[in-house]
Amino acid sequence: MTVVARHAAFLRALAEAPLLLAEGSVVERVRRHPGGLLDPHVANAGLLFRPDGREVLAGIYRDYRHIGLRHGMPTLLLTPTWRANAERLERAGLAGRDVFGEAVGLLSALRDEAGAPGASVFIGGLVGCRGDAYLPAQALPREEAAAFHAPHVEALAQAGVDFLVAQTLPAVSEAEGLALAMGRTGAPFLLSFVLRSTGTLLDGTPLREAVARIDALPGARPAAYMVNCVHASVFRTAFALELSSAPWLATRVVGLQANTSRLSPEELEGRAELDTESPAAFAREMARVHAELGMRLLGGCCGTDERHIAALADLLTSR
């Protein structure tokens, strides 16, 4: 299937599938690995060039792929490139290496490994903000962000991803720049914010205002929006508040990759201990998000692993 056809297939699934499954945590699972595999600059991207690291990554992604296929759900796997911008690649000694091609190649091989059912596995090219995702003061202005993120966004698109996604975005300015850079690639893309229970991004911008501003940018309209890195209960409170004054958000915000912690970003910043909850509790909270708010694209973030995603898929498909 051509890249253009894969783009179309992803957009069709996003528009028509009653439920889509996103992966659970990848970076946090690697962090818990006894081998100490995470790179301080590029997180899990450095594992692509280590046989042992590549094997660990493949095992984690294979877990999530298998759960989605077992339940007959379109499944999103995201490249291990959240921290792979040019500055960080330079610090990690990876400048000039084909990080994005290797990342897409790894996930493409795992999709091919599944045979014909693998057609329902969609590969997303993942990027993040330049600075700390919990510190909105570090966010780039719009035009600077567009220029900064363009090289790795374009590299992911050229490597053949089905879609692009920027996650854990704390501020609207950098999200606007990312939307501009992604829009120029021609690939469909998603933007995913961190929210407070008050319904605002971490920079204080109401979600409805952030979405309206980005949707108004010429040539930079995302296929949809998501939220990640917050607990499902926090999202439920925040999104209900925003929907009360902007019902149209229900057509633009389609998913959540949730944490297992109810702590605020400030409480989680720099925390060494993992704050988690049981797979059953996670699944129940996420099922409420689906039932009460209509979220169709559901997965996990920090604190989750294959047990949480399996419990979520079990509960959603049993209904």
pLDDT of 266 over the 80 cut: no
Helix (H, G, I), strand (E, B) or coil at 121: strand
* Rounded average pLDDT over 293-304: 96
Model confidence at 261, pLDDT cuts 50, 70, 90, reads confident
Model confidence at 41, pLDDT cuts 50, 70, 90, reads very high
| Tokens 């962000």, located at residue | 145
* Rounded average pLDDT over 103-128: 97
| Tokens 């290496």, located at residue | 97
What phi and psi values does residue 165 have, to the nearest 5 degrees? -150, 135
| pLDDT of res. 91 | 96
pLDDT of 274 over the 90 cut: no
pLDDT of 44 over the 60 cut: yes
Summary mean pLDDT of the chain: 95
Model confidence at 268, pLDDT cuts 50, 70, 90, reads low
| pLDDT of res. 37 | 83
**Structural domains in the chain?**
3-318 (3.20.20.330)
Q: State how far the Cα of 188 lies from the Cα of 229, in Å rounded to an integer.
A: 22
Model confidence at 138, pLDDT cuts 50, 70, 90, reads very high
Model confidence at 204, pLDDT cuts 50, 70, 90, reads very high
pTM above 0.85, yes or no: yes
* Rounded average pLDDT over 153-164: 98
33-37, 56-60, 132-136, 238-242: least confidently modelled range: 33-37
130-134, 166-170, 264-268, 285-289: least confidently modelled range: 264-268
Q: State how far the Cα of 28 lies from the Cα of 25, in Å rounded to an integer.
A: 6
